[in-house]
Amino acid sequence: EERCEIVSGLKCVETVFFEESLEQKGDYIRQFKANVLVMGDDWKGKFDHFTGTCEVIYLARTPAISTTEVIEKIRI
């Protein structure tokens, strides 16, 4: 939710949505008519097949923020 708020606050962003499945990423891109797919650089190269549909950008990860760690905390 924190990331959603931050990204939503950017002037260049029209829509932010939660992804429920990596397997549906292509469906989300088409459904929301995404112009850009932004992923952490630990995924570098894994989504290049979407470059015909949208621009794919890989950003350096933020060391202090880990989705995996957040999920693990919630499970405890």
Q: What is the pLDDT along the chain (76 residues), one digit of tens a residue?
A: 888 888 888 888 888 888 889 899 999 999 999 999 989 899 999 999 999 999 999 998 877 766 667 667 667 6
pLDDT given for residue 55 in this prediction: 97
Classify residue 39 by burial, with Cβ atoms within 10 Å: 0-12, 13-18, 19+: middle
> Taking a C-beta distance cutoff of 8 angstroms, is the pair 37, 54 a contact?
yes
Burial of 20 (0-12, 13-18, 19+ CB in 10 A): exposed
pTM of the model: 0.69
| Cβ-based burial of 56 (10 A; exposed 0-12, middle 13-18, buried ≥19) | buried
Write down the pLDDT at residue 70: 66
